[in-house]
Amino acid sequence: MKKKLTIETGNTNLPKTYEEYCELNSIDSDKYYISACNHLISIEYPDEKSLSTIEEAKAILALIQLIRLRDYYNEHSEAAPIKYAIVFNRNKIRGCKLNVGENRVLMFNSENLANKFLNNFRNLIEQAKYLI
């Protein structure tokens, strides 16, 4: 039975902490986790650290891989200030120039580098697009 831990926010009751969220949401048997070797594993006895759907697990795994690849690309290219990004905006994945002080997950030091990254890893970006 679900515990009722709530705070009033208009017409919606929301948990105050992640632990409260876990208590409010029952854990069923169709959950996944990401192994140390970056494999998606279906688990029989999930806990609050498991992922709800295979799509959610794939998106998070893709994001982790993209961040590692982004760092490698930036570290192995000509040093320059970060000034270009890959974003998901208006249902489209595209490159964009960053404004001063703006931060994005997939940031690069040149438009050319960002375009190479987009061409090479479009499939991963598609999987993680709602997280970038």
| pLDDT for the residue 56 | 81
What residues are paired with 87 via a beta bridge? 94
List the domain range (segments joined by +) for residue 16: 7-43
Structural domain contains residue 54: no
Total tally of structural domains belonging to the chain: 2
Contact 109, 74 (CB under 8 A): yes
Q: Does residue 110 sit in the same domain as residue 68?
A: yes
Average pLDDT over residues 101-126: 91
Contact 42, 32 (CB under 8 A): yes
pLDDT tens profile 27-45: 444 566 666 676 666 666 5
| pLDDT for the residue 15 | 65
| pLDDT for the residue 27 | 44
Radius of gyration of the chain (CA): 19
How large a percentage of the chain has pLDDT more than 90? Answer: 29
In this model, does residue 113 exceed pLDDT 80?
yes
| pLDDT for the residue 100 | 81
Q: Does residue 31 sit in the same domain as residue 86?
A: no
Structural domain contains residue 105: yes
Structural domain contains residue 16: yes
- Our measurement of the distance from residue 40's CA atom to the centroid of its chain's CA atoms, rounded to an integer in Å, reads 15
Distance (Å, whole) CA 52 – CA 46: 9
pLDDT tens profile 48-106: 556 567 788 788 888 988 998 999 888 888 878 889 999 999 999 999 998 888 889 99
Mean pLDDT of the chain: 77
CA 122, 123, 124, 130 torsion-angle sign: positive
